[in-house]
Structure 1
Amino acid sequence: MLQTHGLTASYGQFRALFGVDIAVGEGECVAIIGANGAGKSTLMRSITGVIRNEPGMVLHRGEPIGALSSAEVMKRGIAMVPEGRRLFPSLTVEENLLIGGQVRKAQGPWNLEAIYDLFPILRERRKNPGTALSGGQQQMVAIGRALMSNPELLLCDEISLGLAPVVIRDIYAALPKIRAGGAAVVVVEQDIGKALAVADRVYCMMEGRVTLAAQAAAVSRQDIHAAYFGEAA
């Protein structure tokens, strides 16, 4: 469904990605792990058009999309849950969710009722300002907003960052239901255990490069240690 080929990205004179190759298949869950500064979020921004690239560096169903805008990428069925949630502070929970359905007019399993069934607390808080919620509830809104576009590929950038363990458990419990709706999922995580528990395949990044690509069920802790820190365990 999605591939990157020799993907590079820079912020001014600073090179953040160096020839990154990843692939995501139909219905897969792929985990991207690595320490802070490894290039994980830059990879997500490059895929979604926030950072523009050469067209052929990102392929969606074989078509080059590396130079498309973020709005054009989303219309193709690729949605992102950004790090930090980034809700619209002047809008209610329900209004934030409805915004997600405006970009892509697509048939699919996700609408307001489906989001409220996935995260029942949001039904109770639907008239509250989005930023008046707890961090975990705001993350649920951010996920729901992305799902409202009925994406075929959902990119989740650090969805557990700064959240309590019980909240992280509830959010990760939603991922199988999201995949059951037909979407492939990419999870960017620093929590290796969480990432491996939900993923079919895993990529590890360090300093803007992929240092490990493996089946999640087969990868060892020694492999991850070597890829994560650039040294043997």
Structure 2
Amino acid sequence: MLETHGLTANYGQFRALFGVDITVAAGECVAIIGANGAGKSTLMRSIAGVIRNAAAMVVHRGEPIGALSSAEIMKRGIAMVPEGRRLFASLTVEENLLIGGQARKAPGPWSLDAVYQLFPVLRERRKSPGTALSGGQQQMVAIGRALMSNPELLLCDEISLGLAPVVIRDIYAALPKIREGGAAIVVVEQDIGKALAVADRVYCMMEGRVTLVSKAAEVTRRQIHAAYFGEAA
């Protein structure tokens, strides 16, 4: 469904990605792991159109999309849950969710009621300002907002960052339910155990390059350690 081909990305004169190739099949969950500064978030931002690239570097269902804007990419069915959540502070929980539904008009399983069933606490807090919620609840709003566009590919960038273990558990418990709705997921994660538990395949990155590709069920800790630090496995 999605491929990157020799993907590069720069921040000014600084190059953050060097020829990254990944693939995501329909309905698949792919984990992207690596140390801070490995280029994981830059990869997500490039796929989502926040960082524009040469058109052929990102291909969605056979069509080059690397040069499209983030709005155009969301209309194609690719939605991102950004690191840091980035909710609209002046809007309520429900208004934040409804904005996600305006991004794409494609039919699908996700509606306000479906999001509230996935995260019941949001129904209780639907009239509260989005930023008045706890960090975990805000993360649920950010995920729900992305789901409201009924994406076929959900990009999750560091969704457990800074959250309590019990909240992380609840958020990760939602991922299989999201896949049941037909969406593929790419999850960027620092917690290797969490990533491997939900993923079909895993990519490890270091310094803007892919250093390991494996089925999640087959990769060893030794291979991951080597890929993290550039050592011989």
TM-score, normalised by the number of residues in structure 2: 0.99
User: What is the CA–CA distance in structure 1 between the aligned matches of 2:209 and 2:62, rounded to whole Å?
Assistant: 23
One-letter amino acid matched to 2:183: A
One-letter amino acid matched to 1:86: R
**Secondary structure in structure 2 of the residue aligned to 1:174:** helix
Is the 8 Å Cα contact of residues 34 and 40 (structure 1) preserved in structure 2?
yes
Match of 2:102 in 1: 102
After TM superposition, the runs of 4+ consecutive aligned structure 1 residues lying more than 2 A away are: none
Match of 1:145 in 2: 145
Match of 1:79 in 2: 79
Is the 8 Å Cα contact of residues 33 and 190 (structure 1) preserved in structure 2?
yes
Match of 1:91 in 2: 91
User: What is the CA–CA distance in structure 1 between the aligned matches of 2:140 and 2:173, rounded to whole Å?
Assistant: 12
Pairing 1:15-54 to 2, within 5 Å after superposition: 15-54=15-54
2:117 is aligned with 1:117: yes
User: What is the CA–CA distance in structure 2 between the aligned matches of 1:208 and 1:60, rounded to whole Å?
Assistant: 22
User: Displacement, 1:103?
Assistant: 1.0
Match of 1:156 in 2: 156
Is the 8 Å Cα contact of residues 222 and 232 (structure 1) preserved in structure 2?
no
**Secondary structure in structure 2 of the residue aligned to 1:51:** coil
Match of 2:184 in 1: 184
User: What is the CA–CA distance in structure 2 between the aligned matches of 1:99 and 1:56, rounded to whole Å?
Assistant: 30
User: What is the CA–CA distance in structure 2 between the aligned matches of 1:103 and 1:97, rounded to whole Å?
Assistant: 11
Match of 2:7 in 1: 7
Is the 8 Å Cα contact of residues 98 and 145 (structure 1) preserved in structure 2?
yes
User: Displacement, 1:106?
Assistant: 1.0
Is the 8 Å Cα contact of residues 155 and 185 (structure 1) preserved in structure 2?
yes
Deviations 1:84-133 (A, max 9, x none): 00000000000000000001001000000000000000000000000000
User: Displacement, 1:148?
Assistant: 0.0
**Secondary structure in structure 1 of the residue aligned to 2:144:** helix
Deviations 1:4-61 (A, max 9, x none): 0000000010000000000000100000000100000000010011101000000000
Match of 2:231 in 1: 231
Deviations 1:126-159 (A, max 9, x none): 0000000000000000000000000000000000
One-letter amino acid matched to 2:223: D
Deviations 1:157-206 (A, max 9, x none): 00000000000000000000000000000000010000000000000000
The unaligned stretches of length 5 or more in structure 1 are none
User: Displacement, 1:3?
Assistant: 0.2
Match of 1:136 in 2: 136
User: Displacement, 1:73?
Assistant: 0.2
User: Displacement, 1:231?
Assistant: 1.3
User: What is the CA–CA distance in structure 1 between the aligned matches of 2:138 and 2:157, rounded to whole Å?
Assistant: 14
One-letter amino acid matched to 1:140: M
